[in-house]
Amino acid sequence: MQRPITVSERNFLNISVDCVVFGFDDNQLKVLLIEQDKLSETHIPMSALPGDHVYIGEDLDEAANRVLKELTGIQGLYLKQFHAFGNPDRTKGEKDSQWLRQVRKDPDAHIVTIGYYSLVRMEDFNPVASSFAKNTDWVDVNDIPDLAFDHNEILDYALEHLRADTENNHISFELLPKKFTLGQLQQLHELILDKKLDKRNFRKSIKKLDELIPLNEKQTGVYHKPAQLYSFERNEDK
């Protein structure tokens, strides 16, 4: 049974958003992490997902976009909400507390966070650290270090959602950018699902989607047969 918190403990309840931005190129699936600024001699900076408080009066989706932009400079991508994380101990690790004492007025607050994820071609975005992010890094999903707070758990959860969406071909028209070849799209699915797919079967299933639009354009500058380029129809781009 939860012990009620009393006023004398001077605690707060805050809301944040955390963004899991998956990035891919032709053979890698990575996640965009930020590295915390080193704040003092004793402080050991950690890596973390880009995330920060929601403003009062701000919509959650907008907050996710704003926070991502403030910390990494990245904007204009579709962020999909996937889960809320509210364990009161999620920010109570020793390193986490140390960090929060330096950057927050209420370091002991209970912070509920709303998780968002997205998927982009890495080459289309060039993250630049700012605010309390010292650096940004694309880190391979198979090589994720210990992250701040419960961000490892949030990341695992996001990956599950990404895989489920990919299996159902929901991913593509919501989360994919610009134009691509079917080969690239297949590589992407293989990266996400972590298994090989049959080329002909993949093409059959993907071509059934009427969101898939063949462009009047072919690949150039490749030393093999150039591929048809495709795009996904965006339902509601902002």
Name the site residues for its own copies (rule: CB under 8 A).
2-15, 54-63, 66, 81, 83-88, 109-110, 112, 114
Smallest separation (angstroms) from DNA to the CB of 146 = 35
Smallest separation (angstroms) from DNA to the CB of 161 = 20
Select from its own copies, DNA, none the partner in contact with residue 200, using the beta carbon and a kind-dependent cut-off of 5 to 8 Å: DNA
Select from its own copies, DNA, none the partner in contact with residue 126, using the beta carbon and a kind-dependent cut-off of 5 to 8 Å: none
From 32, 62, 51, select the one nearest 127 (Cα to Cα).
Answer: 32
SS3 label, residue 10: coil
Q: How many CB atoms lie within 10 A of CB 178?
A: 11
Which residue, 149 or 180, is less far from DNA as judged by CB? 180
Q: How many CB atoms lie within 10 A of CB 179?
A: 14
Residues making up the chain, counted from first to last = 238
Report the alpha-carbon distance of residue 72 to residue 165 in Å, rounded.
25
| CA end-to-end span of the chain | 45
SS3 label, residue 236: coil
Which residue, 60 or 144, is less far from its own copies as judged by CB? 60
Which residue, 81 or 181, is less far from its own copies as judged by CB? 81
Select from DNA, its own copies, none the partner in contact with residue 195, using the beta carbon and a kind-dependent cut-off of 5 to 8 Å: none
Select from its own copies, DNA, none the partner in contact with residue 217, using the beta carbon and a kind-dependent cut-off of 5 to 8 Å: none
Q: Which helix (H) or strand (E) holds 98?
A: helix 94-103
Smallest separation (angstroms) from DNA to the CB of 162 = 19
Which residue, 85 or 230, is less far from its own copies as judged by CB? 85
Question: In the chain, which residue ranges form alpha helices assigned H by DSSP?
Answer: 60-72, 94-103, 151-167, 171-175, 182-193, 199-207
Which residue, 8 or 216, is less far from its own copies as judged by CB? 8
Smallest separation (angstroms) from DNA to the CB of 206 = 11
102, 81 Cβ separation under 8 angstroms? no
Report the alpha-carbon distance of residue 18 to residue 153 in Å, rounded.
12
Select from DNA, its own copies, none the partner in contact with residue 183, using the beta carbon and a kind-dependent cut-off of 5 to 8 Å: DNA
Binding site for DNA (CB under 7 A): 181-184, 198-201, 203-205, 220-228
